Structure 1
Amino acid sequence: MHAVVGLLLAGGISVSAAAQDCAPDRVAVQGDRGEALFRVEIADDPQERAQGLMFVERMPMMEGMLFIYERPQAPSFWMRNTLIPLDMLFIGPDGVIRHIHENAEPLDETPIPGGDGILAVLEINGGMAARLGLKVGDALRHPAFGADAALPCN
């Protein structure tokens, strides 16, 4: 994992700042309370998605993992071999959060369904979504969501 990139910002950001923030290793989440910027690792193939954050003992506050699928689907996660609590943000192809599962319990093998039509899942430290005021309907800026996203990179 990489160093902390940023915390919740007050208000919106300019187009030039948005373009600078649009990189594969960064995700911006924008909602009513402003914008949160996370440094992320990408899991975009079956092996990386299967490994996820297993065996990670600690994750810096504004970091996470972004799971990206080839096409929208109904993913289900579990916490096998995952040692830290996680919030899971399930995101549609438009970059909008459709479901949040908060504080997934470490080592629990109970399935955590994300719903239908999910293109990506952002895993962050447990409790972080509530702390930052992230909610269903907030939008993410990341190259994976393309030009038609709610918050496009361009």
Structure 2
Amino acid sequence: MKTRSMKTSFAALFAVSAVLAAGLAAAQEPQLNLPRVRLAAGMHQIDAQVASAPDQRMTGLMYRQEMPQHEGMLFIFEQPSQQCFWMKNTLLPLSTAFVADDGTIVNIEDMAPQTLNSHCSAKPVRYVLEMNKGWFAKKGIKPGAKLSGAPFR
């Protein structure tokens, strides 16, 4: 009797482990099918995925191996507040623009991959735009510049 119960216990443990492993593997997939919005920074066009739900914002650009230069991710929060970002499980170096309701860039932070350092907005914002590291600098876009597009109208 003891042997049967141990076999049952091992089978149950194996089943639970398999479910957890499958969930972990699914959780480590990059978000590639979020809604998109067209933004502009002067003459520069941006194709941004929109992360507006809490789980979408929490995953962000984690696990992405690459991202085209004209693409990024726009994080939209319910209300302006100080936003802080880190790079846990994020494989790409990123530049992050913290953006006011009217599209004005408040500050830009460069972030190293797979680090836990906090990078925060200099004042309360509702929007955060992540692009490949150096994108803003290469385009001459600095704090005070304005982004345009549907979210900022």
TM-score, normalized by the shorter chain, greater than 0.5: yes
* 1:107 Cα deviation after fit: 0.2
Larger Rg: 2
| Alignment match, 1:151 | none
With normalisation by structure 2, the TM-score equals 0.75
Q: Which residue of 1 aligns with 2:87?
A: 79
Structure 2: how far apart are the matches of 1:107 and 1:28? 28
* Alignment counterpart, residue 65 of structure 1, candidates 62, 73, 86: 73
Which is helix-richer, 1 or 2?
2
Amino acid at match of 2:119: I
Which secondary structure does the structure 2 equivalent of 1:25 belong to? strand
Aligned to 1:105: 112
Which consecutive unaligned segments of at least 5 residues does structure 1 have? 3-23, 147-154
Aligned match of 1:130: 137
Q: Contact 1:93 / 1:117 at 8 angstroms: preserved in 2? A: no
The C-alpha deviation readout for 1:41-71, integer Å capped at 9, x for no partner, is 0001111100000000100011000001111
Q: Give the secondary structure class of the aligned counterpart of 2:131.
A: strand
Q: Distance in 1 between matches of 2:77 and 2:39?
A: 16
Show CA shifts across 1:66-107 (max 9, x none).
Answer: 0011111101000000000000000011110000012x1000
Pairing 1:47-58 to 2, within 5 Å after superposition: 47-58=55-66
Once the two structures are superposed, what CA deviation does each residue of 1:110-136 show, in whole Å capped at 9, x if it has no partner? 111112221101100001111111101
Summarize the alignment of residues 2-151 of structure 1 with structure 2, pairs less than 5 Å apart: 25-30=37-42, 35-102=43-110, 104-146=111-153
Identity of aligned residues (%): 36
* Segments ≥4 residues shifted beyond 6 Å: none
Q: Figure out how many residues of one structure are paired with residues of the other and give that number.
A: 121
SS in 2 for 1:129: helix
Q: CA RMSD in A?
A: 1.6
CA distance in 2, matches of 1:100, 1:134: 9
TM-score, length-scaled by structure 1: 0.74
| Equivalent pair of 2:106/2:123 in contact (CA under 8 Å) | no
* More contact order relative to length (CA 8 Å, sep ≥ 6): 1
